[in-house]
Structure formats: structure tokens, C-alpha cells
Amino acid sequence: MAKLDSKIPSGPLADKWRKHKTEIKLVNPANKRKYEVIVVGAGLAGSSAAATLAELGYKVKSFVFHDSPRRAHSIAAQGGINAAKNYQNDGDSVYRLFYDTIKGGDYRAREANVHRLAEVSVNIIDQCVAQGVPFAREYGGLLANRSFGGAQVSRTFYARGQTGQQLLLGAYSALSRMVGQGAVELFTNEEMTDLVVVGGQAKGIITRNLVSGELRRWAADAVILATGGYGNVFNLSTYARGSNVTAIWRAYKRGACFGNPCYTQIHPTCIPVTGDYQSKLTLMSESLRNDGRIWVPKRKEDCRKDPASIAEEDRDYYLERMYPSFGNLAPRDIASRAAKRVCDEGRGIGETGLGVYLDFADAINRLGEAAVRERYGNLFDIYHEITDENAYKTPMRIYPAVHYTMGGLWVDYNLMSNVPGLFVLGEANFSDHGANRLGASALMQGLADGYFVIPYTIGDYLAGQKPGSRPSPDAPEFKEAEANVRAMTQRLLGAKGTQPVSHFHKRLGQIMWNYCGMARTKEGLQKALQELPKLREEFWATVKVPGSADTLNQSLENAGRVADFIELGELMCLDALTREESCGGHFREEHQYPDGECKRDDEKFGHVAAWEFQGPGQAPLRNVEPLNYEFVKMSVRNYK
């Protein structure tokens, strides 16, 4: 059984991070040059971590499977980044950001981690402004803010609908500076295919060059994974198609515990599915809910009518009706389930009946079309490109879709997994969002982890490692890991089936969405756990992977990723079946209040579930880390 020591500092909540920084071990500047750190992933968390560690003097190797870090999926984040600056003087504070995040996560996150996130949020904005990130500004020149779901203050900083792109360019510029100085070696088109553990500690990785097919071994004193989320297990999602679980899944198979894998976020504001030909879904930023009003017709017979012909009194602004205190800015899990509920009642719009309206008519009447264009113009352009509809004239059509995963590898307060020397940042870890992430908090966590947490905490581990003691890439453990990758590659290429990889990914996505998606039942999860092993066996028996391993082969890339997704799907369904409660994005239909809200069981499930791999064909072991709420009382969330 894995040892889960959260390493949460003692003392008052507001003093824990400051106290911890004064007590952790340090590495002196001369010795930092003797340590090498591998960073896998170059999105916001990975680029900021690699750049900052290099600035401190460590030797850093950065690996990304894209041809440039600028293609990392962080670029797709649209709406903004939270920070407790209180520029609007509307009552915000570090504590309020902490509380909103804890509550938004339905009391399933660690208090200490979340409070630290709220603390360092204020520094992130200063860092990014110094890098030249063009945040929106008010007329007088001050940085502007807007509201996001689950909050009653305006704390979200933004750059129109391109916030992720602008923040990533800032982090990329910091990374490029260190690459230019020779402090970071950047390896593009390199995909991590295995973790190397030597003497119980993470000491390197195996990569495959996606252009040449070459497998290479890399040794280091510590390994950082910042590889994003695993939402593409559902096939259709708002993730980039290349986003995958392979890095953290291979680490899981080397002993790293997987925390809360079933916690999946469904975003309420996405363009609805239109057919089975689609490869992904498109997000419409949550920021649109600041000025857009969400509604469906009150009568089923009106659902196929032109929305302009439906009188005001015949419209159901259901979020404003159900959650008057927060209205259209209710948290994502709540807004998504409410949309599903009205569509299940037969009041959904569009050809499929799986859609609701996001209407800007009131905002345009109140502010003028020019002001709405200034705030959201590029988002309206994206919507027009995809739907050929003018959202200034007719309401947008939206429906929930998979957008983020709160689960990930288990980490302690130092962001180190239970495998010593393996650190996990950003969406790849489980630590900060509990069972539901509030909007504009993903960018906050990625940059907090990379710029302001890992530079302190990794030193606590490295100080206990003798400089120059890292193993050789020719050590037996490296050779075994490389052989493991070669064996899997040959197994994929050796399959003599007829079905393309995409065939299995689509079927996996249907199983996962139907039985482990927005709503889950015991019967459905049990059915999924019967279907997924069959799909896995069929995949290995009938998949067709053309080409060879020693060249560019995207079919081979995708085959390895889908093989991992199928195994992950089984763990997600097992986790969801075992967690006999509803909380945040994990909604078990058997556990709800009469009004349809989540019914938690704090006595039995007020903990983190950390799953430990036991070997091929063996059931994983479920470890538990209790969540001790010392400073906030667990209560039923109320956004009404």
C-alpha cells in the first residue's frame, strides 16, 4: 500500500505557506548547477516551471511533443485568470477566493493547497504584466476585471477571449530567454513514453521522437510532469486532439497513485454536437455568461420556432429562476446539469434537442453592439465560423461538453507524487480544484505551480540528493523501460486487424459519455465496466496500425494514446462506482436532494481516493487521504 503523506504544514491557514518556505531545505546557488531537472510538457505550468528553475540555476531539459511550446493546449483558454487583487473594491480578498474555490469544488480539495493558490494568485498578475501580457484595461488605464461562475465579485483578468494564448506567449518568452542562454535544452516533437524509477525514485524518462521514431533515454535528478488533462478519454471534448493521458498513465503504472480519476468537469457553454463526423467540440468562453442570458422555451411545442418569435413571457431563463443569487454565473457543474435537465424535459432547442440559447439581446440593448463587440468580438467570430450564424442577431446555441479533469496524479503539498522525485503540476495533478473547478482557475493553478510553488518545493527534495549522483542512462532500469516501450510498439504494429484507431476511440467515448459522463448510475457504471474490458480485448485483436516505428507515424502515436485511454476509462468508472455520493462534477443519480442538487456523504467519502497500480490484470488498490477541514465547515453548497 502506498504511503500518502500530504506534508501539510502546521499552524494557522494563512501562515502555512510562509512558514513552509522558511522551513524547507534549500540548495545553495553553486550546487544548483549540479542538478538536472526534466520537465515534460511546455504549456503554462511546464514553460513557467522550466523557465523559473533555469533562472534559479538548475540545468533543465524541457520536452514537448508539439513542434513548439506555442501549440500547447493552454493557448485555447479564453475567458481569463482569477486573482484576489480586489481592483474593483467589491469585497474580494485572498480568503474569499480561497472560500469560493473550496465551495466550488464541493469541499473535496485540500484547504492548505487551495489557500496557497489564492495567496500566490496576486503575484501571478504582476509577473504577467511585467512580461507584457496585454490584459484588458479600463479607460483610466487600470487593469479590468469581469465575473466568472461561482463568485459574486469581479476577479477575473482577461485579454479579450485570448487570455490563454497571451499568458502562454508570456511564459514561452521566459522559456525562450533561458533556452537562448543555454540554461534550458528544449526538445520538441519528443513524447514521453515511460518513467524510469531507480531505487524507488524517479530518475528519468524514455521518449520517442515523433519525426524519426527514435527512442531515447534521459536521466535527471528529478522529473516534473506538466502534461495537462485527460478529457479526450471521452473522444469528443473541448481539448485539442493531441491532448492525452500517456505521460501520467505510464507514471501511474510505475507506482504513482492516481487521485480521484472520476472527477470530470462538464462545461455548460459549448457549441452542441451536430454529427458523428466531428473530431472535437468548441468552447464558448464562460465570460459570455456575464452578459448573455441562458433560456429555453417554456413549452415543448415552441422549441423548433425561430427564437425571435418566442415572446418574453414564454421563455424560461432557468438559471435565473433556479439560482437567483448567481443566475447565469452559477458554477459549471450546476449550470451543466440544469441544461441537461431542461433538455431531458423535452425543451431543448436545435435539431438534436440538445441545446439551449445564450442570448445577448438584452446586453446589446443596454450597452450597444459596439461595446459587446469590444468585449467578446473574437468569440462571436469563432461562433460564426463554426455555425454560420450571427450571434449579434440571433442567440447562440450551447450545450455542455467535457472540458477539464480535476483528477490526476496524487501529489503532496510540495507537488511531489508518492514516487519520490516525481513532481506533477497543473491539470496533470489532482490537488487544487476538488470535485469541480471554477472558471478562470485553470490558468491560475498552472502559473502558480510553475512560477511560485515548484521553485521552492523541488529544492526540499534535491537537497537530500547528492550532487552528481543521478544514474547513467545505461543503467539497467533505463534499458528495461526502453524495452517495455519497444515491446508495446511492436505489439501495436504487429496487430493484424482491420479497424482504424479512431474506430475504437469513438466507441470508448460513447461508453464513457453514456455511463460516466454528466450523470452516472450504479447500473450504468457496472455496464461500462463490462463493456470496457471487451473493447480493450477487441482493440488489441482487431486494430490496424499501418507503417513502421522508425519514421513519422501518427497512427502509431494515436494507437498508444487510445490504448492508455481505454485502460484509464476502466479506472474512472471503477472510481465513480466506488464513490457512493454526488459531489461537484461527479453526479450519481442515486444520491441527490429532491431539488436535484448533489448529495454528499462527508462521513464516508470526505477523502481523496488515490488508486495504486497492482500489475497487469490485477485490480488496483484504493488508498485514501482524509480531507480534514479545520478552517471551513463542510456544508451543502447553496447558490440560490
Number of domains in the chain: 2
Taking the C-alpha atoms of residue 5 and residue 577, their distance in angstroms, rounded to an integer, is 26
Query: Which alpha helices (H) appear in 7-43, and where do they start and end?
Result: 16-23, 29-32
- pLDDT band with cut points at 50, 70 and 90 for residue 477: very high
Taking the C-alpha atoms of residue 316 and residue 322, their distance in angstroms, rounded to an integer, is 10
The reply to whether 396 and 521 lie within a common domain is: no
The reply to whether 594 and 496 lie within a common domain is: yes
Query: Which alpha helices (H) appear in 217-368, and where do they start and end?
Result: 246-252, 318-322, 332-342, 361-367
pLDDT in tens, 287-342: 999 999 999 999 999 999 999 999 999 999 999 999 999 999 999 999 999 999 99
Taking the C-alpha atoms of residue 557 and residue 72, their distance in angstroms, rounded to an integer, is 17
The reply to whether 487 and 397 lie within a common domain is: no
Instruction: Choose the final residue of a domain: 357, 380, 402.
Output: 402
The reply to whether 386 and 505 lie within a common domain is: no
The reply to whether 274 and 379 lie within a common domain is: yes
The reply to whether 487 and 379 lie within a common domain is: no
What CATH number has the domain bearing residue 393?
3.90.700.10
Q: Is residue 541 situated within a structural domain?
A: yes
Taking the C-alpha atoms of residue 398 and residue 269, their distance in angstroms, rounded to an integer, is 5
Residues 291/417, Cβ–Cβ less than 8 Å: no
Q: Is residue 97 situated within a structural domain?
A: no
Q: Is residue 51 situated within a structural domain?
A: no
The reply to whether 392 and 272 lie within a common domain is: yes
Residues 422/251, Cβ–Cβ less than 8 Å: yes
The reply to whether 300 and 386 lie within a common domain is: yes
pLDDT recorded at residue 45: 98
The reply to whether 486 and 581 lie within a common domain is: yes
pLDDT in tens, 102-139: 999 999 999 999 999 999 999 999 999 999 999 999 99
Task: Give the DSSP H/E element, type plus range, for residue 626.
Answer: strand 621-626
Mean pLDDT in residue range 471-481 = 98
Residues 391/238, Cβ–Cβ less than 8 Å: no
The reply to whether 505 and 591 lie within a common domain is: yes
Q: Is the pLDDT of residue 275 over 90?
A: no
Q: Is residue 378 situated within a structural domain?
A: yes
Residues 374/402, Cβ–Cβ less than 8 Å: no
Residues 120/453, Cβ–Cβ less than 8 Å: yes
Q: Cell for 171? A: 511564459
Instruction: Choose the final residue of a domain: 368, 402, 436.
Output: 402
Query: Which alpha helices (H) appear in 39-162, and where do they start and end?
Result: 44-56, 94-104, 111-130
Domain that holds residue 487: 476-605
pLDDT recorded at residue 558: 98
Residues 273/281, Cβ–Cβ less than 8 Å: yes
What CATH number has the domain bearing residue 532?
1.20.58.100
pLDDT in tens, 584-602: 999 999 999 999 999 999 9
The reply to whether 384 and 499 lie within a common domain is: no
Q: Is residue 226 situated within a structural domain?
A: no
pLDDT in tens, 229-273: 999 999 999 999 999 999 999 999 999 999 999 999 999 999 999
Which residues have CB under 8 Å from 354's CB, separation 6+?
A: 272, 273, 343, 348, 399
Q: Cell for 615? A: 500489475
The reply to whether 483 and 390 lie within a common domain is: no
Q: Helices 522-542 & 501-516, crossing angle to 10 degrees?
A: 170
Q: Is the pLDDT of residue 563 over 90?
A: yes
Sheet with 396-405, strands from edge to edge, namely: 264-270, 396-405, 356-359, 293-297, 315-316
pLDDT recorded at residue 43: 98
Residues 593/101, Cβ–Cβ less than 8 Å: no
Residue 250 CA: distances (Å) to CA of 191, 239, 493, 555, 560? 12, 20, 19, 19, 11
Average per-residue pLDDT in the chain? 97
pLDDT recorded at residue 160: 86
Q: Is the pLDDT of residue 277 over 90?
A: no
Q: What pTM was estimated for this model as a whole?
A: 0.98
- pLDDT band with cut points at 50, 70 and 90 for residue 60: very high
Taking the C-alpha atoms of residue 191 and residue 489, their distance in angstroms, rounded to an integer, is 13
pLDDT in tens, 136-193: 999 999 999 999 999 999 999 999 889 999 999 999 999 999 999 999 999 999 999 9
Max CA distance (Å), the chain: 74
Q: Is residue 359 situated within a structural domain?
A: yes
Q: Is residue 357 situated within a structural domain?
A: yes
Q: Is residue 197 situated within a structural domain?
A: no
Which residues have CB under 8 Å from 552's CB, separation 6+?
A: 210, 211, 212, 213
pLDDT recorded at residue 276: 81
Instruction: Choose the final residue of a domain: 354, 375, 402.
Output: 402
Which residues have CB under 8 Å from 534's CB, separation 6+?
A: none
**Sole residue written with cell 480539495:** 109
Which residues have CB under 8 Å from 171's CB, separation 6+?
A: 44, 47, 48, 51, 131, 447, 450
pLDDT recorded at residue 505: 98
Taking the C-alpha atoms of residue 428 and residue 408, their distance in angstroms, rounded to an integer, is 5
